[in-house]
Amino acid sequence: MKKQLLRFWQSDKFFKIPILFSVLSAIFILTLLLFFWGSLPDRVPLFYSLFWGEGQLAAKEQLFLLPAVILVTSTVNILIASQLHHLQYVLKRVLTIGLSLIDVIILVTAVNILLIFI
């Protein structure tokens, strides 16, 4: 497993950028949360798929789910991509591009939530 992860990391520069972007996105969101923690109300809008009102609100501690989701999806995608055969590089790239899209969506969501209260 370690050899496969190392080989995956060294195989193509294309894979390094999304992985680093994921880690940096999670660190950036954590930094923003900690920096603006005092200015956040006790309940913040987090669940935008629910109806308008009380259902969308969550405790501000639940904002830490955003970087956690980034790290979990990154880990799962990296493990899946590293287990694929080396000839399946297209699928590996699709996984890493999907990872980057998920990271961007979560990063934009976190920044928009924080901008409401700054």
d(CA 5, CA 16): 12
What residues does each domain of the chain span? 2-35+63-117
CA angle 47, 70, 97 (to 5 degrees): 110
User: What are 88's strand-pairing partners?
Assistant: none
**What string of pLDDT tens digits covers the 118 residues of the chain?**
666 666 666 666 777 888 889 999 999 999 999 999 989 899 988 877 777 878 788 898 999 999 999 999 998 988 888 787 777 778 888 888 898 999 999 999 999 989 988 8
Smallest CA-to-CA distance from 109 within 56, 52, 45 is with 45
Please state the pTM of the whole predicted model. Answer: 0.81
